[in-house]
Amino acid sequence: MNSRSKRIIQLALQRNISDDEDSLSDPYSGDSDDDPVFVPPVGSSSSNYSTESSEDEVGINKSTIFSSTNENLQGEEKSDCSEKTEQRIGNMTEPTNEQINETLHDLNSAVWGPPKGNHLQFDENFEGGLKEELEATLLGSRPIDYYFGFVDFKIIDEIVNQTNLYATQFLLNDDRISNQSSVKKWEPTTRAEIIHFIGLLGYTGIVRMNTLRDYWSQKWILRSEVARSVMSRNRFELLLKMLHFSDNEQCPEGDRLYKIQPLVDMLTKNYKSIYTPGKTFCIDETMVPFQGRLVFKQYNPQKTHKYGIKLFKLCCDKGYTWNLSIYAGKERTSDSSLAVSTQIVLKLAKDLLQSGRICVIDNWYTSLQLAHILLDRKTHCLGTLRSNRKGNPTEVIKKN
């Protein structure tokens, strides 16, 4: 036993202060009735310790408590307090090992136990982690090989096709483009060029400069050979203007995510194919920083990044993002009988149900309705519950 634990036990065993001289209201009176029970010192009279925290019983004068400010505390009163404290500590005796062990045994036995009742147990055994076949393939590989595991050539080729398609549509449909415009110099892009373009985007996120053109600046204080050695500034700006992930002419009316949804779907498909979640997974929202113009940009003053795009994410126990959904404004509900938060959980966890896993969520998602739905699909639900949630039993929300 360390010195700190021994000191705590010593104070608990030897404290014997009369109520009329030094007692104050119990600082733990707000604790739950189910908290560990206080064990009186060995050999002490039970009359010295009350289970109630009433101020009338301990004889507390409220006006005296609240008027005890620094201005009212005089040097003589402080010295009297310190002398009393030193006298109490000096009168303490070392507790025996038998007394210490007896007290520790009583404290250790007063703990929260496992839940009791009709708690279903699922016997499925599985281990999460990187897929075995992929782990063997990537053994000894370069970092770029891991990157292509997420952004594979299928995604790159789709970006190439959609970018070239949009550039062609733009040149054919816009008669206002002058002959001197850089757009007139457009040439179809390729897989290698898009890979270099994505690499430069990552570089601009690591090395921050005031403007995009500063990465190609000839000024000695800003000069960098990285961007210039990959592609020209005009070509980079032209690719940035033409970059597309879907066909604009096929966009349905009112679909705010159509332009990026194909890319998101391909990425999440790769996320799922690479990693297998373990027994526990978590669903929560996160904010991607963004301060540009966007109709579904969110503002949350409680977040580190107050402006951005909200994502609903399903993450594994090691922080791996396995699935995600972008919040684009008021959610369309396919089933009016289900809450929006319930539909989000069921949508993200669709491929993990019926497997005996545990879904961890916060109080925005947790409800009795969701718990029953997940339990019917062999999935446990773990999370805090709001007292005003619809369908809560009276026994759960009533105050004692």
Given this model, what pLDDT does residue 193 score?
97
71 domain residue, yes or no: yes
In a domain, 360, yes or no: yes
pLDDT (0 to 100) of residue 392: 80
Among 347, 374, 370, 373, which Cα is nearest to 358's?
Answer: 374
Q: Which domain holds residue 157?
A: 151-244
Helix (H) or strand (E) holding 348: helix 340-348
Same domain, 286 and 322: yes
Both 289 and 385 in one domain: the answer is yes
240 and 327 share one domain: no
Q: What is the per-residue pLDDT for 211?
A: 93
Q: Based on the structure, what is the number of domains in the chain? A: 3
Both 272 and 370 in one domain: the answer is yes
Q: Based on the domain organization, do 207 and 272 belong to the same domain?
A: no
pLDDT at residue number 118? 62
Q: How many CB atoms lie within 10 A of CB 314?
A: 27
| Residue 160 is assigned to a structural domain of this protein | yes
| pLDDT score of 14 | 56
Q: Please tell me the predicted confidence (pLDDT) of residue 127.
A: 77
Q: Rounded to the nearest 10 degrees, how much is the dihedral formed by the CA atoms of 385, 386, 387, 391?
A: -70
Last residue of a domain, one of 91, 109, 127: 109
Q: How far apart are CA 378 and CA 368, in angstroms?
A: 15
Question: 87, 109, 131 — which closes off a domain?
Answer: 109
Write down which residue in 53, 85, 109 finishes a domain. 109
Q: Which residues of the chain have a pLDDT value below 50?
A: 16-95, 100, 103-113
* pLDDT in the model for residue 286: 92
Residues in Cβ contact with 73 at an 8 Å cutoff, skipping those fewer than 6 apart: none
Residue 186 resides in a domain: yes
Mean pLDDT of the chain: 77
